[in-house]
Structures are given as C-alpha cells and as structure tokens.
Homo-oligomer: A and B are copies of this chain.
C-alpha cells in the first residue's frame, strides 16, 4: 500500500498485527478512529495500555482479575469445594453466562498441545494439584473443549488427580439443545446413543 503518511502507516501496521485483521480492514478501522474526537481515541489507546499494565491474575484460580484474588474466589456465596477446570477466561465467562454453576474455577491457561509446543508444565496444572492437595475439595469438574487437545488434557488431568479419591466429572457431551439429528455428526450421534441416559434423568429439575 502507498501511504501518504508515516503516522497512518504505523497505525495501520499495528492494527494489522491483530488476528484476523488484514491491511484493508486495519486501514478502515484506523480511518474510523481518525474521524473520532481526540479524547475518544485517547480513551481507546489508554484502555488497552492500562489493561496490559495493571491486569492481574487471581493467585488462587489464575483467572484475569483486577485484584490479587478474583471476585469469584472471594465471593462468600460460591461453593469453594467444587472446582471447575477450564482452558481460559473466555470459558469462565461462558460458564458464568449459563447461571448454572455456583462453585469456583481453575483456569489452566491453555490446553496440552504437542503440535504447538504446549506441555503440562506450561499450564497451571501443578498449581491445580497443589490446590486439591491442600484445600478441601468435594468435586472436580473438567469443562474442556471436545477437541483432540481438550481430550489429551482431560486424560492427563485425570491421571494426575485420580489418586486424591475425589469425584472427577466432565461436562456432558451429546446433541446440542435445539440440534436436529440429521445434521449431527456421526461421532457425536454415535456416542450419544452409547452414553444414553434414563429419560427421567434427562429432565431438568
């Protein structure tokens, strides 16, 4: 691209480093910001820099937080003895949005993925084992994606945690609510037949 301004080129290049943003989109976003009030643009720039500078991770569950211990870990209403293990903060938000879970979390910070060079030591797995060993825990829910990396991590976590003799569960897999059978993939449909449940158990109480 032929930029008429070095400042413009810099800003476009910075934007196009973001995932899924090409040069054309970056230019569109930058020109959009150029039309905004200076104050607004400063607020945009500062929000990001401040986030990176001041963000903390909860020392208990490793979730993104404004303070040393996150709001969920500190809330008296949450059941501290049930731990839901998730990949990252987006999954915490997804589970929170369901309003169906009242325990606490443990954020791994990723999934085991030999292809991407991510091993167990790169994740907060030791700290999970430590947490289970030192605090009373009634149940560990493994809520990981149903992908190869998720399954690998699931298997590894199970091996590390099973000796504690604490119930370890995983979230249910099967046909999504509202899903039509004819569009379900063979593996999901096949597994959901094998792991079928008595009708009365499938009802939401």
| A77 CB-CB contact with B under 8 Å | no
Given A18-B32, A19-B32, A48-B41, are A55 and B89 neighbors across the interface (CB < 8 Å)? no
- Complex copy number for this chain: 2
| A44 CB-CB contact with B under 8 Å | yes
| A51 CB-CB contact with B under 8 Å | yes
- The residue of chain B having its C-beta at the shortest distance from the C-beta of A8 within the complex is B64
Q: Which of these, B28, B64, B72, contacts A34 with CB under 8 Å?
A: B64
Q: Which of these, B4, B15, B33, B70, contacts A71 with CB under 8 Å?
A: B4
A29-56 interface with B by 8 A CB criterion? 29-34, 36, 38, 41-55
B-contact 0/1 string along A1-42, CB 8 Å cutoff: 111111110110111011111000101111111101010011
- The residue of chain B having its C-beta at the shortest distance from the C-beta of A49 within the complex is B45
Distance in Å: Cβ of A86 to nearest Cβ of chain B = 12
- The residue of chain B having its C-beta at the shortest distance from the C-beta of A24 within the complex is B90
Distance in Å: Cβ of A135 to nearest Cβ of chain B = 20
Distance in Å: Cβ of A63 to nearest Cβ of chain B = 5
| A88 CB-CB contact with B under 8 Å | yes
Given A14-B43, A19-B29, are A64 and B2 neighbors across the interface (CB < 8 Å)? no
Report yes or no: B8 in contact with A34, Cβ–Cβ below 8 A: no
- The residue of chain B having its C-beta at the shortest distance from the C-beta of A25 within the complex is B20
Q: Which of these, B14, B36, B72, contacts A52 with CB under 8 Å?
A: B36
Q: In whole angstroms, how far apart are the Cα atoms of A3 and B71 in the complex?
A: 10
Chain B residues whose CB sits within 8 angstroms of the CB of A42 once the complex forms = 49, 52
B-binding residues in A (CB < 8 A): 1-8, 10-11, 13-15, 17-21, 25, 27-34, 36, 38, 41-55, 63-66, 70-72, 88-90, 92-93, 96-97
